[in-house]
Amino acid sequence: MWKILFTLCAFVTLVISRPQGPDERPEPYEYQYEVKDPEQNLFFDKNEIGDAAGKVTGQYSVLLPDNRLMTVSYSVDGESGFVPKISFQDNANPFSG
């Protein structure tokens, strides 16, 4: 029998926006979540913030099979589209702390 330890910590604050007309501005929002399973060596998380001007910034991380933590930080603003910055942390241990 497989034992699975699965901890899901989620905090969601989300403002549901209605369809926007030409004179309406985006609604600010924020959310984040984290999944940790040390027995399966599984970790991933994400957080994102959208402001009233329509700019979105955030990041997500994934523990890779070789124990590097890959983090993608990104922003979306106007016509720039999705602009990512990818980094890797060797020998990461996201389960401590």
The model's pTM is 0.72
HSE (CB half, 13 Å, CA atoms) of 27?
Answer: 11
Query: What is the per-residue DSSP string for 53-75?
Result: TS-EEEEEEEE-TTSPEEEEEEE
User: With 70 as the cut, is the pLDDT of residue 21 above it?
Assistant: no
Q: To the nearest whole number, what is the mean pLDDT of the chain?
A: 81
Interatomic CA distance for residues 30 and 11, integer angstroms: 9
User: Which two tokens mark 14?
Assistant: 């989300």
